[in-house]
Amino acid sequence: MRRDFSFHPMAQEELNEVAAYYEAESEGLGAAFLREVETAVRHVLDYPESAPSVNRLVRKKLVRRFPYNLMYSVTPKDIRILAIASQKRRPFYWRGRK
């Protein structure tokens, strides 16, 4: 059974900001980042319990090719993307997001 999913508004903002940054660095890199995030989201939707737990409510899925993690929570009904978190900056800044 596939669950519904949604992005926390701040996670959506992070996604857009990171993609814009990469696109400004090199044409096409922002689109490549978005494709890798989409691949990570599809994997999470297909196998929500496969990524390692950060705590009892949140899991993290590595975004391939880029130093970012997809932070998400799983409930019986849905998956909530909480953050597109840099692996090199402020760990756990996203705590408190639902």
Residue 46 lies in a domain: yes
pLDDT tens column, 1-40: 677 899 999 999 999 999 999 999 999 999 999 999 999 9
Burial-class residue 7 by CB neighbours within 10 Å (0-12, 13-18, 19+).
middle
| Number of structural domains the chain divides into | 1
pLDDT digits (tens, 9 = 90+) for 36-54: 999 999 999 999 999 999 9
For residue 92, being part of any structural domain is answered with: no
pLDDT at 95 over 80: no
What is the domain extent for residue 23? Answer: 4-86
pLDDT of residue 93: 66
> Is the residue at 10 inside a domain?
yes
pLDDT value for 1: 64
64: which 2 tokens?
């391939």
* Residue 14 in tokens: 């992070």
Assign residue 40 the CATH number of its domain.
Answer: 3.30.2310.20
- 17 located within any domain: yes
Domain assignment of residue 14, yes or no: yes
